[in-house]
Amino acid sequence: MSEVLIAVAVTLILVDVFVATEFLSVVAYALISITVVEWLPVSSLYAVATGVAVFGVLLVLHFQVLRGLSVLVVDKYISPTKVKSGEDALIGQTGAVCDVSGKRFVRLGDQLCEFVDDKSLSDGTGVKVTGLDGMRLVVIQEGEEKL
Number of independent structural domains in the chain? 2
> Which CATH number fits the domain that encloses residue 109?
2.40.50.140
The total of other beta-carbon atoms located within 10 Å of residue 20's CB is: 12
User: Alpha helices of the chain — where are they, by DSSP H?
Assistant: 2-19, 23-39, 44-61, 67-73
Per-residue pLDDT of 103-135, as tens digits, reads 889 998 888 888 887 778 888 889 999 988 888
pTM: 0.49
Cα–Cα distance for residue pair 98/126, rounded to 1 Å: 10
Beta bridge partners of 104: 99
**What is the domain extent for residue 126?**
86-141
Is residue 65 helix, strand or coil? helix
pLDDT at 147 over 50: no
In a domain, 146, yes or no: no
pLDDT band (50, 70, 90) for residue 72: confident
Query: Within this chain, do residues 30 and 52 fall inside the same structural domain, yes or no?
Result: yes
Is residue 136 helix, strand or coil? strand
In a domain, 33, yes or no: yes
Query: Within this chain, do residues 112 and 132 fall inside the same structural domain, yes or no?
Result: yes
What kind and span of H or E run contains 130?
strand 126-133
